[in-house]
Structures are given as C-alpha cells and as structure tokens.
C-alpha cells in the first residue's frame, strides 16, 4: 500500500480549492452575461414596442385618409 503524506493531502486540498475558485469565477461570468443578455432583450423589446406604436399611428392615419378620399368621391 502507498502511504499518503501530509504534503500530498495539502496538494490535493490546494487543487480542489483552485478548481472551486475557477468554478466560482465562471459562475460570476455567467451571471454577468445573463444580466447583459436580459438588458439587451429589454432594449429590443422597447424598440419593437416603439415600432409597433408608430406603425399603428401610420395605419390609423392611412385609414383616415383613405376614408376621407372614398367619402369625398361618394358624396358628390
């Protein structure tokens, strides 16, 4: 059987601690990327809502103008 020394155990402990720190660092990076993605999606959603509002306003204007044109043609 092989004897495990105190220095061997310390090396294993240091290796495990290093891996744990790396995992924690990756977890923080994932959290930051998640927040950035959410911010970008919120910005895109706001832009799409603005586009939808503008399209609705233009559609309403077009329908009103078309109705006035048709009404003008039918009245005389």
Judged against a pLDDT cut of 80, whether residue 74 lies above it is answered with no
Give me the pLDDT at residue 7, please.
92
Query: Which range of residues forms the domain containing residue 19?
Result: 1-76
pLDDT tier at 63 (50, 70, 90 boundaries)?
A: confident
pLDDT digits (tens, 9 = 90+) for 14-58: 999 999 999 999 999 999 999 999 999 999 999 999 999 998 888
Sequence-separated (6 or more) residues with CB below 8 Å from residue 68: none
Domain count within the chain: 1
CA-angle at 8, arms to 7 and 10, nearest 5°: 60
In the chain, what is the straight-line distance between the N-terminal and C-terminal CA atoms, in Å? 110
| CA–CA distance, 19 with 10 (Å, rounded to integer) | 14
Q: Is 4 a residue whose pLDDT tops 70? A: yes
Task: Look up the pTM and report it.
Answer: 0.55
């Amino acid at each position: 059987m092989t004897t495990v020394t105190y220095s061997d155990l310390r090396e294993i402990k240091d290796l495990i601690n290093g891996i744990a720190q790396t995992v924690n660092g990756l977890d923080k990076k994932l959290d930051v990327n998640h927040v950035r993605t959410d911010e970008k999606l919120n910005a895109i959603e706001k832009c799409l809502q603005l586009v939808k509002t503008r399209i609705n306003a233009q559609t309403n204007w077009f329908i009103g103008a078309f109705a006035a044109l048709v009404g003008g043609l039918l009245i005389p």
